[in-house]
Amino acid sequence: MNVKNYKVAIVGAGPAGYFTAQAFQKAQRNDLSFVIDMIERLPTPWGLVRSGVAPDHPKIKTVSKVFEKIAKEPNFRLFANVELGKDVSLKDLRDQYDVVVLATGASRGRKLGIPGEKLKNSLSAAEFVPWYNAHPDFVDVEVDLSSDTALVIGAGNVAMDVARILAIDPAELDPTDVAEHALAKLKQSNIRTVIICGRRGPEHAAFTAPELRELPKLENTDVYIDSKQIEEAIQHIEEMDEVEKDLRNNIEAMKAIAEHEKKGVTRKLEIKFLSTPIEIKGNGKVEEVVFQKNKVENGKVVSANDTFSIKTGLVVTAIGYESVEYSGVTFESGRVRNIAGYVEHNVYTVGWAKRGPTGVIGTNKSDSTDAVDLIIENLKEPKTSEGITALLKSGHKVIDQTSWEKINASEVISGELAGKPRVKVADWSQLIRLGLS
Ligand code: NAP
């Protein structure tokens, strides 16, 4: 049988990229095959599984085993330490490959757009999270943990991760793969109260129930939610025509937190609702955040015409992400402009670059399968071209799968000695040295 063999470039080695590679692998037939080149800017793959997922959530990271299985297939090659827009252009990839899939994510934090946001120690989760996860671009983020209170803005799972990392006893992070520089800093931290501030009510929060249910189980931290706010939210959802199961589960989990007996420990994590930050104040550095109080009226959140403020030395905003732009692609509303994953020519997009920063890691699985179905429908005759090797300058230090496996093994071995899953290398040039040794 005549086999048509197509060259695919997937840009971005995060969950969306890997699940797209897997969907291509599964779609192969007697008459259809794919050669997949995964291109990644960093010297390490796995995207948010390495630099986003909280270190105290090791179970979520086990999906990396699936990624390594995908990478072991003979039609898969990794080209890490290769940057789209710098080392290769999109035009060149389009010419050399039958299909280009942009799985480049959304790594820039959205801004509040309020006065004082640029003060020292007002950080975005898009800096703070990769800092504690040893992302080589964020090793030098200046994080000052000398005050007793930290505020986290946003009522989503990223806010929850950030708040937990700040609020738990850092000794609980000893057996994790948290960045060594971050653990050292967290061990010196004076922060004992962390307040998550959501602008709407408990019934509108973007947290998910499994993450909420963990909170009362924290060993060294008491978690608080105002019971009155939960009772009001319960009243509001009783007035709704239809209540989704996820919402009921969330409210139940928050009620359990509010009612849970406190341990009387000094570390506190509070979730505060109906509070919109309107100004961050401070003399050169964050000192106080002013909030507008809100209320729910006929299902809508409106201003209660009142303000209050909280003294704090650290603010972390976790209010969503947008894509970082690169040349050759049109970005719109913080994402790659696309129609159901189709961009233009032979270019497609998946994951957060396609749909924005929503969904959990598994969401990318169905999303990628849909994209690959669409791509296969649109395939033309395969090109005869060389692929990426024709594009990279000679001597370019590519981290391929074998090099990555060296980095991985080295980190895991260091971890074994320290009683951790791995000790991450956070220095870009050291990563490359390890990979190419
Ligand atoms: P998210 O779930 O969209 O939550 C963003 C939060 O920011 C919302 O509460 C939103 O409130 C708030 N917000 C937005 N703009 C704001 C503003 N100007 N002022 C105040 N608050 C504002 O986003 P995320 O937390 O970044 O998470 C991204 C995705 O990753 C989510 O799908 C999440 O579930 C997933 N994730 C999952 C896990 C896990 O499974 N453990 C961990 C981390 C992340 P409004 O609703 O009022 O807009």
Which residues does a 6 A CB cutoff place in the pocket of ligand 1? 112, 153-159, 161, 198-200, 204, 206, 208, 211, 318-320, 357-360
Q: How confident is the model at residue 316 (pLDDT cuts 50, 70, 90)?
A: very high
The model's pTM is 0.97
Atom 16 (ligand 1): residue with closest C-alpha? 319
CATH of the domain spanning 108-321:
3.50.50.60
Atom 26 (ligand 1): residue with closest C-alpha? 320
Q: Which of 107, 319, 335 to mutate to test the pocket of ligand 1 (most atoms within 8 A of CB)?
A: 319
Residue 96 alpha carbon to ligand 1 centre in Å:
38
Decide if 336 contacts 102 (C-beta within 8 A).
yes
344: nearest Cα among 108, 171, 136, 90 = 90
Residue 393 alpha carbon to ligand 1 centre in Å:
40
Cα(199)–Cα(116) distance, integer angstroms: 18
Q: How many CB atoms lie within 10 A of CB 60?
A: 15
Q: Which of 48, 153, 157, 213 to mutate to test the pocket of ligand 1 (most atoms within 8 A of CB)?
A: 157
H or E segment to which residue 103 belongs: none
Residue 155 pLDDT? 98
Residue 162 alpha carbon to ligand 1 centre in Å:
12
Question: Which tens digit of pLDDT belongs to each residue from 247-305?
Answer: 999 999 999 999 999 999 999 999 999 999 999 999 999 999 999 999 999 889 999 99
Q: How confident is the model at residue 71 (pLDDT cuts 50, 70, 90)?
A: very high
Decide if 198 contacts 155 (C-beta within 8 A).
yes
Q: How many CB atoms lie within 10 A of CB 238?
A: 8
Name the region of 254 (left: φ>0; alpha: ψ -120 to 50; beta: rest).
Answer: alpha
The gap between the terminal CA atoms of the chain, to the nearest Å, is: 43
Q: How many CB atoms lie within 10 A of CB 74?
A: 7
Question: Which tens digit of pLDDT belongs to each residue from 131-156?
Answer: 999 999 999 999 999 999 999 999 99
Atom of ligand 1 nearest to the CA of 158: 25
Q: Write the CB contacts of 430 (distance below 8 Å, at least 6 apart in sequence).
A: none
Cα(54)–Cα(214) distance, integer angstroms: 13
Atom of ligand 1 nearest to the CA of 113: 18
Atom 23 (ligand 1): residue with closest C-alpha? 320
With b meaning 16 or more CB within 10 Å and e meaning fewer, what string describes 25-55?
beeeeeeebbbbbbbbbbbbbbbbbbbbbbb
CATH 3.40.50.720 intervals, the chain = 4-107+323-436
- Answer whether residue 190 shows pLDDT above 90: yes
Atom 2 (ligand 1): residue with closest C-alpha? 156
324: nearest Cα among 108, 158, 170 = 108
Cα(100)–Cα(123) distance, integer angstroms: 34
Atom 39 (ligand 1): residue with closest C-alpha? 157
Residue 204 pLDDT? 95
Residue 394 alpha carbon to ligand 1 centre in Å:
43
H or E segment to which residue 150 belongs: strand 149-153
CATH 3.50.50.60 intervals, the chain = 108-321
Residue 205 alpha carbon to ligand 1 centre in Å:
8
Q: Write the CB contacts of 200 (distance below 8 Å, at least 6 apart in sequence).
A: 155, 273, 274, 294, 296, 301
Residue 207 pLDDT? 98
Q: Percent of the chain having pLDDT more than 70? A: 100
Residue 419 alpha carbon to ligand 1 centre in Å:
33
3-state class (DSSP) for residue 330 = coil
Residue 299 pLDDT? 83
Residue 177 alpha carbon to ligand 1 centre in Å:
24
Helix axes 401-418, 428-436, angle to 10 degrees: 110
3-state helix, strand, coil in the chain (%, to 5): 35, 25, 40
Q: Which of 56, 62, 158 to mutate to test the pocket of ligand 1 (most atoms within 8 A of CB)?
A: 158
Residue 220 pLDDT? 98
Helix axes 245-259, 227-238, angle to 10 degrees: 160
3-state class (DSSP) for residue 129 = helix
Q: Which CATH architecture has domain 4-107+323-436?
A: 3-Layer(aba) Sandwich (3.40)
